[in-house]
Amino acid sequence: MRGYYFLVKEQVIEQDMFYKDHNVLHYTIKYPLFISDTYHMLAQKLNTLYKTKAVMFERSDIMNLYQMAMVEYEYSVANDFPIRPFEVYVNYEVTYNQNCALSLYFDQYEYTGGAHGLTYRYSDTWNLAKSKKEELTDFFPNTTDVMEFVINNIIEQIELENKKGDSIYFEDYPQRVRESIKKNNFYLSKDGLVIYFQQYDIAPYSSGIPNFLIPYSPLGAEEPTCPYYI
């Protein structure tokens, strides 16, 4: 189909890690492999990037967690506590793959004991025609103060939810939104640009990862377009 340039194949690194014959850590790391005739060189560049990130995460972060898991195992045995293996799960979602743009996010879940684990989200958006990573400001070319516009838009959305009685946010959400928002925490969807916050930033754990859609429109975000020669 014209406008879709990247075929995506899932790659997986997975392993159980044992200590004294006990499984103390299981990890699954998923990352994308891109195939493209139109943007072959960029696809290779992104494949190298995401594979390297996955391997480095396995060699560094996973090994650190394995050390923690061994210590936790010894503590649990010494105190006659249940042995709960650590878990790490990294997954990705391609949210936009058209109009010479590619957008995706990764969710990194870690359980290291306690009542529940934590998920951290990060994302990338790529301009395929220019072979460059896009910034938030690239999608608001006619807006003078992009961050202020986005912050006000999010606060207005929360206020509307409050009026409906659907609020899930902390009472001091205006301050938390301003303090927690990160200019790189966004991705594209078919309906608009999505701003997200990490768990606990502006709402309780049970709320998950809060996200806010800014629709594509003259008064919102600008949807990507391809150069005339594509």
What domains, with CATH codes, occur in the chain? 7-133 (3.30.565.40), 136-215 (3.90.640.20)
Cα-Cα end-to-end distance for the chain: 14
Read off the pLDDT of residues 25-78 as tens digits, 9 standing for 90 and up. Answer: 999 999 999 999 889 999 999 999 999 999 999 999 999 999 999 999 999 999
159 to 90, 139, 148, 162, 181: CA distances (angstroms):
33, 24, 16, 5, 17
**Distance from the Cα of residue 217 to its chain's centroid:** 24
pTM: 0.93
For residue 215, report the phi and psi dihedrals to the nearest 5 degrees: -60, 155
pLDDT at residue 5 tops 90: no
pLDDT at 165: 83
223: left (phi over 0), alpha (psi -120 to 50) or beta: beta
pLDDT at residue 3 tops 70: no
Q: Which of 188, 196, 198 is nearest to 221 (CA)?
A: 188
pLDDT at residue 230 tops 60: no
CB 169 within 8 A of CB 155: no
